Structure 1
């Protein structure tokens, strides 16, 4: 009897780990790609849509910003919902409703209906990235999280890079309304796929005991049950008492400004400031997004490699992010060149750097207290996405007032430098926050 048990245990120990976590990662990458297509298709439609609906640059800045009002405001409630109802249901509802609001934008007839749909889109998308972070922390050991985060984050850029020419073609052939309807329908269909395929580690039919042991040994939460914690403002105040939360959030706020520019005003910048035709815009718009995707992957690879070689989470997480923010600040150099090819090269370098800043979600996965991961991600994403409110408005005001993007690019460069300073001087040590014993 004992011999049989020992043999069975030895067999389990020798069992090769499955790779079910990478199937989960594929779901996250696809969902993130659809997420960014849905929130940014307005940027592609903007030059034509604004003419059809009679919207000025300042008003378009207001429309771009509207998404971020509710997106930021719903971050903490979305994190609380995530902690209460778990990953699967939260992501499914978020994905389905944001896709529906994207589809409905295709039926907008003026400013008010368009803004209403953008507000609904913001509320619906709010839980997505906190859920991504929580799922990665659950399914991946610490030494694999940066690369896992970079792989799903690259979906933000790859979808826009490779689908932008197709979307410009659809708009040219069928009008801007078709963009919203097609992208919205794709998201609703993927919501069904998510519900059918996603499982938590303990419930997975594809993850064996060896993989679960590998995840938990590396600091994952594979063997832990979902912990539901009621929301309280005391928990918010507690989290905000830690400098790690402030340092990461301010740094990501700054880096996010560059991303917001590219997903809102970038096509308009090429068409109006650089006077490019639609064919040229469709081609050139791809290149910075490809560069950003490479930056995401490079940052994740570099971070995990540094962690393996040095064992220092501080060096492995901070160095790529700070370097990325410094590269993002070079966007201002586009003001001083005339050739389109050089402008795109500069913007591609800046967006490459911004891609590396996506590692901020790894930082949150590393520092968030176990019982408040959703709330921590919500607070972080709330502060990060305040730049989604301010950046479109500031750029719209600058362009409307000056007729130029010159000071808009300078504004984003200054923010990127401030973000680098936040990661260097404010963030402190990157380690999981331990809540008081009385919690």
Structure 2
């Protein structure tokens, strides 16, 4: 689409990462306000799990359709539309007066956020040279903890001073500003690198590629851990450290900021390790597998007590998780032959992995209610991560095709 050497790519990088920050700030606001919201809607731990996962229902279903729209209509139009839609949903959530109405706004939020990471991978493939792709995608993923930190801190402060409803409206307005900036600054012309021939996604070729399944299984396992912490971390810290709502929110923000800083460093380390290696044969999988394995350090949490141990362990586990997910997205981009189908293939992979994301907060709620503590949740997550590491190290060893061009314009083969 664009020459990778253009300095303007850094503007695109910053805007894309900010999209991720805003996306996760909006999600974190729910977790930060959950102690208050749970009281208003009379939620049990199981009920909290279902509410926390509700945005993932539409997110899961619309990952692939949203990604296909990206490949069809381009990042400029779909990016602005998607962020505007989820920001409107966020604002409407602050106006909801019943639990069903509130859940509807969370489902709307998930629908708007569905194209987020396919768009990030599409932008990275189009704008980032090979030597920057891993770092750019790690920065995109590190937008997650930065957004969670900002959303937790801002959410707690706004809720304490103005109430949770006003907090949701204010945070939604921030997304509207981003959408206007993206529409203004992203280049209007988006010429497909393949010329005028339309590329269409071939499920038979993708599902027949062992590399795709290795990446997907790894992503599923990482997403379980990702959404577990993203959804439950304020309550985890409140339980482990005996904190109040405001203090738990602030320490949650500290964990996220520390993990983002370390994650960016890990992204650069991983990219340095990749120099001179054959990316088309899955060399990046070693970085992905190592980082996912080290994120299993969250299994040490049952043996920790006090802020001086709990906070560093959470931050380090999150950092390796974020860096691993970013490297896994770069691995997928490395191995897809057709540049113009990066978003669709990424969306397909996230359709699978977000199923694990949907399960994580719900499973945690049931395990917590059955056991009375988070220990079993942490141990289960470590076992799942180890399974993901095995898939990543064994399967993604060669590039694969994702397309079948047809004159009839079929979507799937």
TM-score, normalisation: structure 2: 0.90
| Contact 1:99/1:188, CA 8 A, preserved across alignment | yes
1:380 equivalent to 2:368? Answer no
Q: Do the aligned partners of 2:82 and 2:115 also contact (CA within 8 Å) in 1?
A: yes
CA contact (8 A) 1:107 1:177 kept: yes
User: Which whole-Å deviations, capped at 9, do the CAs of 1:306-350 have from their partners, x for residues lacking one?
Assistant: 222444565752222112111211212111222232112211121
User: Shift in Å at residue 26 of structure 1?
Assistant: 1.0
1:33 is matched with which residue?
21
Asked if 2 retains the 8 angstrom alpha-carbon contact of 1:82 and 1:127, the reply is yes
Look up the match of 1:340.
307
Distance 1:424 1:18, change over 3 A: closer
Cα distance in 2 for residues equivalent to 1:396 and 1:110: 22
Cα 1:268–1:326 change in 2 (3 A) is: same
| 1:345-364 → structure 2 map (5 Å cutoff) | 345-357=312-324, 358-364=326-332
Does 2:170 correspond to 1:182? yes
Q: CA deviation at 1:304?
A: 2.2
Whole-angstrom CA distance in 1 between matches of 2:187 and 2:196: 13
Equivalent positions of 1:384-423 (< 5 A) are 384-423=353-392
Superposition deviation, residue 172 in structure 1? 1.1
Per-residue CA deviation, residues 70-92 of structure 1 (Å, 9 max, x unaligned), is 11111111122112111111111
Instruction: Determine helix, strand or coil for the equivalent of 1:79.
Output: helix
Aligned residues: 402
8 Å CA contact retained: 1:32, 1:155: yes
Kept in 2, the 8 Å contact 1:302–1:320? The answer is no
SS at match of 1:74: helix
Aligned pairs (5 A) from 1:37-48 = 37-48=25-36
Q: Does 1:72 align with 2:60?
A: yes
- 1:368–1:432 CA contact under 8 A, matched in 2: yes
Distance 1:202 1:176 in 2: 40
**Partners in 1 of 2:68 and 2:246 — Cα distance?**
45
- Structure 2 spans left out of the alignment, 5+ residues: 407-412
Question: Quick one: which of 142, 150, 166 aligns to 2:130?
Answer: 142
- With normalisation by structure 1, the TM-score equals 0.85
Inter-CA distance 19–202: structure 2 relative to 1 (3 Å threshold): farther
1:258-307 deviation per Cα after TM superposition (whole angstroms, max 9, x unaligned): 22122211111122343212343133212321232134312321232122
In the alignment, what sits opposite 2:401? 433
Residue 322 (structure 1) aligned with residue 289 (structure 2): yes
Whether 1:288 aligns to 2:276 is: no
In the alignment, the residues of structure 2 paired with residue 111 and residue 394 of structure 1 have an alpha-carbon distance, to the nearest angstrom, of: 21
Counterpart selection for 1:367 from 328, 335, 352: 335
| Residues 306 and 312, structure 1, Cα contact 8 Å, conserved in 2 | no
Q: 2:121: which partner in 1?
A: 133
- How big is the alpha-carbon RMSD for the aligned residues of Structure 1 and Structure 2? 2.4
> Displacement of 1:236 after TM fit?
2.1
Taking the aligned partners of 1:323 and 1:287, their CA distance within structure 2 comes to: 25
Corresponding residue number in structure 1 for 2:141: 153
Q: Aligned partners of 2:403, 2:247: CA distance in 1, in Å?
A: 53
Contact 2:298 2:313 in 1 (8 A): yes
